[in-house]
Structure 1
């Protein structure tokens, strides 16, 4: 069963909170949705739009009568970008709040800080962020793209525009380290060579010596899976050095938090990316979503990839509750594993029963005038990297983040 385009467009204008239609019984026991996000701190550029998208989705559902004639109640916590608070709030949501589902986590480390708590308490968990792939756990559903969906598309396109010698700059944590290996693989697969790979802690903001190293190495292309506000300095310093017009840039992260809108056009123009969503998608669903976002008090210019995947994650869970006829954990998981899909601003999102990852459209894009201009759409790409190591149908008790053999 699909939450289809007609149903999406028919959804009423959302309220900023969790308003209820009159037909929801006031005495009805609420369905509790938990959220753990960085709505302050160094990653709030990602967390704030995700939080707004979650609240918009819940308001849409409540305005439509809730789920199973029950209102949805939000229990949300701000981690302030403090990893220790993820574990603390995970315990709070499962033990004290006793929520029915949790949507949360941004960095891979934050996901792993709460995933086992969700599993032990049998609390359904949605992670709505693109990541490095490999998580295999029947209790989690992952709504962001993986390297086989994104990088396998971006690298050959970028190499075709530039050349075969590639220099990689990556964030020095789980995502960046694994993503660098995927980039290396797809560069080799396309007849190229990674001449160097440099890793940077998340608080590094001075890239002067790195830019000098790149100049000496003289690559044809720089690929930068950098993360966070400090790393945004690289793109500014790269443009200021005069290198932007000499060596093309691609990134697996720039723009997912609308960083391209913080850069000037002179700093960002020409950078190549590939994601599920762009504000520039021309569709009634995207236009309708942006209008609802603004009606709820937001600015459509702040909508990003993570916000859209969060909205889709809540709507995917809601459709599974409808199909199951209950918010109880096991029937909802079984409904999700039926191959359920929803339509929304980024197109169709389908649950892959084998891995619990999303099957989604991926768009090749280029940053121009602070916009991500869509060059080509590749429909319904499978999470083939995680499919190679994870089969929850055959091994429902699996609880592993695999390091996929690259």
Structure 2
């Protein structure tokens, strides 16, 4: 294959490898793992630690002999928080690079920008991010929490601490819109009432009028599935207005990208969250993982929920390859569909054959001193929202994201 100068420079600028393996290792038959993540741009706080987690997992795999006596070669593209680049690099990975698997995507829009490309090329795809649920596609495996695993436990806890009247603030794209409906469902299921719902584009950073509006609706609780650096301004402006000590906050996103670590104690303390992972988890598996991260990167400050979900996604895929004895697409899918489990930093992760989503431990937590203190652990919660609409064992050719009726 020949490349012109522009193509060569473009690929060289975008593509990085996991480690400088000896020439002989690359000359041999490697297994190719592709990555498309925002490691620069406005979503790099999510993407950079995910990239670090991927590289750590692959280093550990390669240092212990690789998979099937072959080294795993990482072909990673930085999508620069530009949705158009997701499509471009997905095609690059599947057509030119001919990778065996792709791990990547952060926003739901980025997942949908590349999912059909992966399916058409028969390239196995892992999406290692919490999202709104409903994707039903035999070619994809999802390792992040869905609303039935997260919102269903967070809302009752937060309402019990605060009261029945809830105001919702959400990012204005499909994750925020659908999650807001799930919040409303679980508020009403628990005897509460939603007194206001507001949506915000991802670039909005001025929430002054929103704070005033919430003062007028006078809720007992604000639940905020806000996303990205601009939306972080809400939490600062809420505290600056003296509201944090008057009306409690809960969020389905705060802390997933370590946002709680850039807020002051006055801004962050007391915010209620529920995730699969916290650095404060007091388990041997988490201690070992953090020690490994520390040895590789010098400190553990960058570890967050999406990084750990990525790390666990790599381990699940690797176990599927081992059990299949092959990287051939259908063989790996069939191995994963046996209900493979791994013990990760966040606990046991088990793939659900019906939906290709993960059954996970979920921890109710509160932000405290820029950490997330675990209040209660709910073990092995299944993705029952997606199970309600997706059954890949009965309908293996299904290929859509269902809008789950709430």
TM-score range (shorter-chain normalised) is over 0.9
Q: So what's the TM-score if we normalise by structure 1?
A: 0.94
Task: Provide closer, same or farther for how the CA distance between residues 80 and 20 of structure 1 changes in structure 2, counting only shifts above 3 A.
Answer: closer
Matches of 1:25 and 1:217, distance apart in 2: 63
Contact preservation (8 Å) 1:18, 1:62: no
Q: So what's the TM-score if we normalise by structure 2?
A: 0.94
1:323 alignment partner, SS class: helix
Q: Who is 1:231 aligned against?
A: 231
Q: Could you tell which deviates more after superposition, 325-334 or 291-300? A: 291-300
Matches of 1:274 and 1:104, distance apart in 2: 23
Report the CA distance between 1:25 and its aligned residue.
6.5
Report the CA distance between 1:294 and its aligned residue.
1.4
CA-atom RMSD in angstroms: 1.3
Runs of 4 or more off by more than 4 Å in structure 1? 19-22, 24-27
Report the CA distance between 1:297 and its aligned residue.
2.0
Report the CA distance between 1:21 and its aligned residue.
9.8
1:349 alignment partner, SS class: strand
Q: Who is 1:374 aligned against?
A: 374
| Count of residues paired in the alignment | 390
Q: Who is 1:398 aligned against?
A: 398
Task: Provide closer, same or farther for how the CA distance between residues 25 and 48 of structure 1 changes in structure 2, counting only shifts above 3 A.
Answer: closer
Contact preservation (8 Å) 2:36, 2:103: yes
Contact preservation (8 Å) 2:18, 2:73: no
Unpaired runs of 5+ residues, structure 2, are 1-16
Q: Who is 2:19 aligned against?
A: 18
**1:124-139 matched pairs, under 5 angstroms:** 124-139=124-139
- Spell out, residue by residue over 1:158-189, the C-alpha distance to the aligned partner (whole angstroms, 9 max, x if none): 00000000000000000000000000000000
Q: Who is 2:141 aligned against?
A: 141
Report the CA distance between 1:28 and its aligned residue.
3.3
Report the CA distance between 1:284 and its aligned residue.
1.2
Matches of 1:169 and 1:355, distance apart in 2: 29
Task: Provide closer, same or farther for how the CA distance between residues 360 and 21 of structure 1 changes in structure 2, counting only shifts above 3 A.
Answer: farther
Matches of 2:25 and 2:120, distance apart in 1: 32
**1:341-352 matched pairs, under 5 angstroms:** 341-352=341-352
2:199 alignment partner, SS class: strand
Q: Who is 2:73 aligned against?
A: 73
Matches of 1:317 and 1:31, distance apart in 2: 12
Contact preservation (8 Å) 2:18, 2:75: no
Q: Who is 2:173 aligned against?
A: 173
Unpaired runs of 5+ residues, structure 1, are 1-15
1:84 alignment partner, SS class: helix
Report the CA distance between 1:299 and its aligned residue.
2.2
1:300 alignment partner, SS class: coil
Contact preservation (8 Å) 1:20, 1:66: no
